[in-house]
Amino acid sequence: VGNPATQYNLLIDTGSSNTFVGTGKAYHPTSTSHYTGNSVHVSYGSGQFSGKEYTDTVALSPELVITNQSIGVATSSEGFEGVDGILGIGPVDLTKGTVSNTGEVPTVTDNLYAQGTISSESIGISYQPSTSEGQVNGELTFGGVDTSKITGQITYVPITSTSPASHYWGINQDVTYGESTAILYGSAGIVDTGTTLLLLATDAFQAYQRATGATLDQDTGLLTLTQQQYDKLQSLYFNIGGTTFEFTPNAQIWPRALNSILGGDPNKIYLITSDLGSPSGSGLDFINGFGWLQRFYSVYDTANTSVGIATTPFTDATTN
């Protein structure tokens, strides 16, 4: 950001749309910085920041340089330990009401397209399962899809019309445990890189817990299984746009090599499905978070207001 540039490590978040810095490394205005006089405030699921709005040059890579990008510069924040801010790549609607004297704030994707840097207003995101802390295991393709990262076809579905999921990268999906245990049906929710776990509405979560026999671990707040229960764990099936995506038993558990990050027991098996904290039918019944996205390729298509999902070579990985 800026000229001369300062490099920031930002959380990539499809569940928000403002880009901001300053929660870790400080922002210092340079020759390309312009203070707009506006204030910024954004609240997140697990944190918030307040600060000032600047426009500045933002380089995501040598080929992806944005001029006059609105950025927030945090003067106060909570919940962002270990990162310098957020790169918000959600729908632009989410910026409404976040900056004073301003309607919507164009996102980095909006500006890359408007400035002619990318030919289509979409982002493809590839991850692979984490096996060590701090592992570089993802790739963003601005303006297209990296077909080398997928197997089979991409299933595209329109953004759901159900609010509040409709304000995000929201989709409709059915979730089944094993062959016949319905967990969710025709439910709206969101696909979100900024959420770690797979979150389900409380009644759906309880149905999953009953089906798996898992117990709640008091130290981590996650469900835990015995080895015998894990050996019997069945796949979760996600029906999205008429395509069934299998979320395998191995995909459903936290990477055992990373149990210490949770403050967990290295010998326990933890599930990544957790309680969203609200009942189904509330318009946001699930969040397919980072743990889910490590097994699938996802596409966020602003031009066609749609989300795409595809399998990858890691969909059936057993590394967890």
Residues forming the active site = 13, 192
Angstrom distance (rounded) from CA 213 to CA 226: 9
Angle at 22 between CA 21 and CA 27, to 5 degrees: 95
What are the backbone dihedrals phi and psi of residue 272, each rounded to the nearest 5 degrees, phi first? Answer: -95, 0
3-state secondary structure 43-78: EECCEEEEEEEEEEEEEEECCEEEEEEEEEEEEEEE
E strand map for 255-305: 269-270, 273-275, 286-288, 296-301
Q: What is the CA 92 to chain-centroid distance, rounded?
A: 16
Instruction: Tell me which amino acid residue 79 is.
Output: G
Whole-angstrom distance, CA of residue 150 vs CA of residue 121 = 20
Instruction: Identify any residues that bridge with 199 across adjacent strands, giving them in sequence order.
Output: 274, 287
Q: Which residue(s) pair with 247 in the sheet?
A: 236
SS3 149: helix
CB atoms within 10 A of CB 210: 11
- DSSP letters along 153-207, please? EEEEEEPPSSTTGGGSSEEEEEEEETTTEEEEEEEEEEE-TT--SEEE-HHHHHH
- 268 in Cβ contact with 259 (< 8 Å): yes
Of 1, 303, 301, the C-alpha closest to 125 is 301
